[in-house]
Amino acid sequence: MIFVDVRGFTELSERLPTPELVARLSRFYELASHAVFELDGTLDKMVGDQVMAFFGPPFRPKDHPRRAVRAALDIVASVESMSADGEGFRVGAGIGTGEAFVGNVGEEEVRDYTAIGDVVNTAARLQGEAKPGEVLIMEETYLPVAADFPNAPQRILTLKGKSEPVPARVLTA
């Protein structure tokens, strides 16, 4: 599960003319969807200033944690380079690895293909704790990519709704 969110979006929406805000948000969505699709991920939602994606079903690659980390880092790096040009945002990301329900939720006319479960909520909460330019990942995500990021610092977080502190690794693009 990947969640990427724009930092300071409310302040930007007050400051920027609506057409410029929409153009920047559209560019963010374009960068995010490209990074996800390039690595065989599924773009679940684009809600407000946030992107939700997942790796695994329906493609089921064995290296889905590595693909999720790469996609999140690519999104953060792309958005950061836009910010350097004065045209973008700052974003933070959260990634979780684990079992979740993936499929249609809802009834009749209102149905949504999505992922639901504790790992989804945890990844969303990690994203909420990530500073601009950071990707916070669960230990379960870190283990298969540890050799790629041997010095990733660990942060112990108290996340809303979680009964125990959650260890997370901090990656930067």
CA distance 169 to 146: 10
- Residue 76 maps to which CATH number? 3.30.70.1230
Q: Which residues form the domain of 43? A: 2-172
Rg of the chain over CA atoms, in angstroms? Answer: 16
pLDDT band at 58 (very low <50, low <70, confident <90, very high): confident
Q: What is the pLDDT of residues 65-123, one digit of tens each?
A: 999 999 999 999 999 887 766 666 899 999 999 999 988 999 888 898 899 999 999 99
Q: What is the pLDDT of residues 26-54, one digit of tens each?
A: 999 999 999 999 999 999 999 989 999 99
On whether the pTM is more than 0.85, the answer is: yes
Write phi, then psi, for 69 (nearest 5 degrees).
-65, -45
| pLDDT for res 87 | 66
| pLDDT for res 18 | 94
- Residues contacting residue 61 through CB under 8 Å, at least 6 positions apart: 40, 55, 67
Q: Bridge partners of 154? A: 169
β 50-54/2-7 pair status: antiparallel
- Residues contacting residue 120 through CB under 8 Å, at least 6 positions apart: 1, 96, 100
The dihedral sign for the CA sequence 135, 91, 94, 56: negative
